[in-house]
Amino acid sequence: MAIKTTDLCDEHEEALRVLAPLFGDYGGRHAFAGTIATVKVFEDNSRVREALDEPGEGRVLVIDGGGSLRCALLGDQLAAKARDNGWSGVVVYGCVRDAADLADLDVGIKALNTHPCRSIKRGEGERDVAVTFAGVTLRSGEWLCADADGIIVAEQPLA
């Protein structure tokens, strides 16, 4: 049985944080959950690629792209890498591209919007740092659950 954010909100309201409803679904998996790994970047997806090259082990990569709408931080190649390396999903506070192809991949992807341009590669950014967007601070090691109703975060897995 799938975990539902609505049920978790009803049962554990005091133990979780709910992100503002800013994100659309882009991946082929519309519900996903896992331990968070964070990346903080701005219009440079070098650290995103670095993270997705590693075994995901069911984790969720949370990308704080500063909310930029000027380029994409994730496209079909990186999303396929996420799927192949066992990531449960990716949340992008920024844009994705190759939207039609992303929809065919069995990985969860939430993002602000789409943009056809790729990011630049400067090798900049930080990993495993606290990030704050959509009214919530997210930390590596916390737990995230996302579905069609939204995105929630808790200090530990809820079921």
Domain edges within the chain? 20-143
Annotated binding residues for substrate, written as ranges, equal 75-78, 97
Annotated binding residues for Mg(2+), written as ranges, equal 98
Q: What is the pLDDT of residue 43?
A: 98
- Residue range 42-100, pLDDT digits in tens: 999 999 999 999 999 999 999 999 999 999 999 999 999 999 999 999 999 999 999 99
Q: What is the pLDDT of residue 2?
A: 78
Q: What is the pLDDT of residue 3?
A: 84
Instruction: Report whether pLDDT(1) > 70.
Output: no
Q: Of 135, 42, 50, which Cα lies nearest the Cα of 95? A: 42
What amino acid occupies position 91? V
Instruction: State the architecture of 20-143 in CATH terms.
Output: 3-Layer(bba) Sandwich (3.50)
Residue ranges with strand state E in 19-96: 24-25, 32-40, 60-64, 72-74, 89-96
Per-residue burial over 78-88, b if 16 or more Cβ lie within 10 Å, else e, is bbbbbbebebb
Q: What is the pLDDT of residue 37?
A: 98
Annotated binding residues, written as ranges, equal 75-78, 97-98
- Residue range 101-157, pLDDT digits in tens: 999 999 999 999 999 999 999 999 999 999 999 999 999 999 999 999 999 999 999
Instruction: Report whether pLDDT(159) > 80.
Output: no
Residue 60 and residue 62: Cα distance in Å, rounded? 6
